[in-house]
């Protein structure tokens, strides 16, 4: 590899080494830097200096190299990465972060119904069909852990995809009152309820719900 193609970047005091080909692979700030006459600020060692936090820059470089990355579980970190990708004008990485934030939003909008009175009000006043996931009352602590991505990241990822798949048709809730299997799912529309599935929570449970919704044409 020609030494002229190797680029050293000083990102907020941390030096990274990569190539011009990597930095200019996608439309964005770096391609503009190297394809225009914009003067580049350099440090005392000749590294191109960029006054940004280096915390997520290795991940940004990996995106430039591969075109895709696995985002961290932390919503705060994803927001930080979005901010940095916006600064570097990397639309593809911004899109990945936005999709992840949309998934997080969908999960937060899955409201907990506290008691039977609130459930009745939801049934009476909802204009849209909805699914309720019932859990066993004695498992309330486990349910709180269940919605913690740090405890069950893979399961939460499947649930986010499930909600994204059906959010145009249904609202989503969860409440106490599950079956012996641990969880059950009931479909409500126009004051009518339809049992969908019961299972210990897993990807299979969500697959059973998909099949049941299709079979019942809901």
Rounded to an integer, the average pLDDT of 131-149 is 67
Q: What pLDDT, on a 0 to 100 scale, did the predictor assign at position 81?
A: 95
Element housing 79 (H / E): helix 75-87
User: Can you list the pairs that 55-62 forms with residues at least 24 positions away whose Cβ atoms lie under 8 Å?
Assistant: 55/80, 56/80, 56/81, 56/84, 57/9, 57/11, 57/14, 57/16, 57/84, 58/16, 60/84, 60/85, 60/88, 60/90, 60/93, 61/16, 61/18, 61/22
Which one is predicted more confidently, 155 or 123? Answer: 123
What pLDDT shows up at residue 160? 81
Mean pLDDT over 8-22 rounds to: 95
Q: Is residue 144 very low, low, confident or very high in pLDDT (cuts 50, 70, 90)?
A: low
pLDDT above 90 as % of the chain: 34
Domains of the chain: 3-105 (3.30.710.10), 110-215 (3.40.30.10)
- How much of the chain, in percent, has pLDDT values that exceed 70? 86
Q: H or E element: which one contains 130?
A: strand 130-135
pLDDT band at 149 (very low <50, low <70, confident <90, very high): low
Q: Rounded to an integer, what distance in angstroms lies between the CA atom of residue 129 and that of residue 52?
A: 47
In this prediction, residue 3 has a pLDDT band, given cuts at 50, 70 and 90, of very low
For residues 99-113, average pLDDT: 77
Instruction: Work out the average pLDDT over 62-84.
Output: 90
User: Does residue 128 have a pLDDT over 90?
Assistant: no
Residue 22: pLDDT over 70: yes
Tens digits of residue pLDDT in 165-209: 888 888 888 888 765 657 788 888 887 888 888 776 666 788 888
Which pLDDT value is given to residue 2? Answer: 47
Residue 9's beta-bridge partner residues?
A: 16, 48
Is pLDDT larger for residue 12 or for residue 37?
A: 12
Residue 11 confidence (pLDDT) above 90: yes
Q: What pLDDT is attached to residue 23?
A: 94
Q: What is the mean pLDDT of the chain?
A: 84
Q: Looking at the DSSP assignment, which residues form a beta bridge with residue 42?
A: 48
pLDDT score for 142: 57
Q: How confident is the model at residue 1, as a pLDDT?
A: 44
What's residue 148's pLDDT? 59
């Amino acid at each position: 590899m020609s030494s002229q193609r190797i680029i050293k970047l000083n990102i907020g005091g941390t030096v990274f080494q990569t190539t011009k080909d990597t930095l200019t692979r996608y439309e964005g700030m770096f391609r503009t830097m190297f394809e225009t006459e914009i003067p580049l600020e350099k440090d005392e060692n000749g590294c191109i200096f960029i006054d940004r936090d280096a915390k997520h820059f290795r991940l940004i470089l990996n995106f430039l190299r591969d075109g895709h990355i696995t985002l961290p579980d932390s919503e705060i970190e994803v927001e930080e990465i979005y901010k940095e990708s916006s600064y570097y004008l990397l639309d593809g990485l911004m899109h990945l972060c936005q999709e992840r934030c949309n998934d997080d939003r969908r999960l937060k909008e899955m409201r907990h119904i506290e008691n039977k009175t609130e459930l009745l009000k939801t049934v009476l006043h909802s204009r849209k069909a909805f699914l309720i996931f019932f859990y066993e009352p004695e498992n309330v602590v486990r349910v709180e852990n269940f919605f913690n991505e740090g405890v069950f990241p893979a399961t939460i990822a499947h649930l986010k995809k499930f909600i994204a798949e059906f959010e145009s048709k249904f609202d989503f809730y969860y409440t106490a009152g599950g079956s012996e299997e641990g969880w059950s799912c009931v479909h409500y529309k126009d004051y009518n309820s339809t049992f969908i599935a019961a299972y210990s929570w897993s990807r299979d449970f969500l697959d059973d719900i998909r099949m049941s919704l299709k079979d019942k044409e809901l």
